[in-house]
Structure 1
């Protein structure tokens, strides 16, 4: 699929609002090879069924409603898709591959529960967030339950996949803590941003690819290349998400536009705007320095200024640099349909913020 054709994807496909879209993404991004499409489509359906079961198998009906809420509202299911694509470089029919896909999504869902509590978010995937429905304390514990469920499932994975999952859990929590404490005095805020993004976003995409490759018995060189691809794709994905927050409406993205901006989240465009010296961004720098309390129109004015800012353009350039590194990592992999799909996924990420 070309970059131009990606622009034609419906908003629900590009942004994941309201329903799982990995199967549709696979159909549009993957090569037109029926065996590959059917195998991956069936595996995604199996993983989805298992995910719904495992997020709603608590012993109490009220707990089941909370822990299954976010899985039921939909999402891109990008992490399960990555697990299954990576498994193509080994034996995709290996026992536990679907379980590995569910583990990756459980960790992701848990992080969303926690993020929404920290950000006081009211909407996720186009529906009310768990914290909006049940309160912060219950939502945080719901996220913890999903993490524990993922850990229980991961115990049955092959040793390399289990070890990678354990390391990734540590990286994700450290990334969340680094975001909360902020950079040390005198430290480079942009460098701190990339440390946070590496833990919060890139680590999980890399893990998804790694556990898929390990569980399917792929060669070590292929697994290492896939992990590196995931690291770079994840950083690009986070930058694209930052730009999406500034550019896309709630109807398109499933989240309030500018939610991170209002919450004071130090996204890459915000950091680049604060540190920039370009005269064209002077008003934007002043507005960011004043903060949301500067007036009723602060939010709308900031979003308007960001739309044509040098800071957003610089962030987009950095995103494309990471995508170039991701594509380079694929160079050692055999020319399978899965490799072509991963390459096309870079275009998808690049265009998420459009």
Structure 2
């Protein structure tokens, strides 16, 4: 397993005080629920230091400014904004997926109900735009536009993901396009927004955006593997969490498109009603393993990471920041799978 780049800790330390200050603007109830989600307090409001995630997206935002020769501080509004959008999506995803735990703690909807989770997520999304637009930078409007467009693509990807639940067959290309919206769009924006705020040339911004998009696809492929084969002690979710929800994730889509008897059996199981038994889940894991779904997903993740690295080599960037970006991308792909 690749060790987490030290830059992740440095970027989290850089954004956390400002992120806390922004969240403090919310009304008392929403502020409490958002702070709980971020791991800053317990459900009863006692200060805590729970796992708040790796903060990959704000790290990318800060690095993208450094990559174009600007001080990372210029990207701080962008770093806070992408982290807020990311967590808006997580709070809503947990509700839509029925996930009762995230990072070994109850989710917001599980503790306070669906309406509270929706409103808390919405508040985070509103704060993201507020932070960018009040920054006073001459590039604030283009950055805010990028984030708004990104949020639209993220929601499109989520809509497609939900729609797949009602279909018996999903092509791999459709699944990749869904992941490009649901995950790739925000990582793409994260890798570009610092450069946008720094006023970098379009070609450089586009290269960083492409890097982030491909890292995002690699991230989703790896995450889908973890959702099936991941260790609950590492992922913080129940074993076979994606299969329990009968999700047509990328490894599942690959298996469905193999056109053999195993694919037919898998499609029938995905369409079946009710909560799957442990025996069923083990049987499905065996089907996926038999057609090489895990190996395909990990190989495709590595291919996407190679495309991301090629994008960074195609433009002039600060050498140290480029190295940090490469290390961060490899860490995303090489998680414990």
TM range (shorter): 0.7 to 0.9
Task: Note the C-alpha offset of 1:83.
Answer: 0.5
Task: Note the C-alpha offset of 1:349.
Answer: 2.6
Task: Note the C-alpha offset of 1:198.
Answer: 1.2
Selected match of 1:109 from 52, 62, 87: 87
Task: Note the C-alpha offset of 1:316.
Answer: 2.2
Whether the aligned pair in 1 keeps the contact of 2:62 and 2:73 (CA below 8 Å) is no
Distance 1:148 1:141 in 2: 11
SS of structure 1 residue aligned to 2:38: helix
Task: Note the C-alpha offset of 1:89.
Answer: 2.0
Whether the aligned pair in 1 keeps the contact of 2:5 and 2:327 (CA below 8 Å) is no
Aligned residues: 321
Whether the aligned pair in 1 keeps the contact of 2:68 and 2:318 (CA below 8 Å) is no
Distance 1:42 1:179 in 2: 34
Q: How does 1:264-343 map to 2 (within 5 A)?
A: 264-277=246-259, 287-288=269-270, 295-307=277-289, 309-331=291-313, 332-334=315-317, 336-343=319-326
SS of structure 1 residue aligned to 2:283: helix
Whether the aligned pair in 2 keeps the contact of 1:241 and 1:353 (CA below 8 Å) is no
SS of structure 2 residue aligned to 1:230: helix
SS of structure 1 residue aligned to 2:5: helix
Structure 1 residues not aligned, in runs of 5+? 1-6, 10-24, 28-36
Greater displacement, 324-333 / 280-289: 280-289
Whether the aligned pair in 1 keeps the contact of 2:254 and 2:293 (CA below 8 Å) is yes
Q: Tell me what 1:242 maps to.
A: 224
Q: How does 1:41-80 map to 2 (within 5 A)?
A: 43-60=11-28, 62-72=29-39, 73=50, 74-80=52-58
Task: Note the C-alpha offset of 1:320.
Answer: 2.0
User: CA distance change for structure 1 residues 43 and 298 in 2, over 3 Å: closer, same or farther?
Assistant: closer
Distance 2:10 2:224 in 1: 33
Task: Note the C-alpha offset of 1:125.
Answer: 1.6
Residue 147 of structure 2 is aligned to residue 165 of structure 1: yes
Whether the aligned pair in 1 keeps the contact of 2:224 and 2:249 (CA below 8 Å) is yes
Query: What TM-score comes out, normalization by structure 1 length?
Result: 0.82
User: CA distance change for structure 1 residues 176 and 118 in 2, over 3 Å: closer, same or farther?
Assistant: same
RMSD, aligned α-carbons: 2.7
Q: Deviations over 1:124-155 (max 9, x none)?
A: 12211111111112111111111011111121
Q: Tell me what 2:5 maps to.
A: 26
Q: Which runs of 4+ in 1 moved over 3 A?
A: 40-44, 182-188, 277-296, 303-309
Selected match of 1:126 from 93, 97, 104: 104
Q: Deviations over 1:157-211 (max 9, x none)?
A: 5232122112111111222222222399898532221221111100000111111
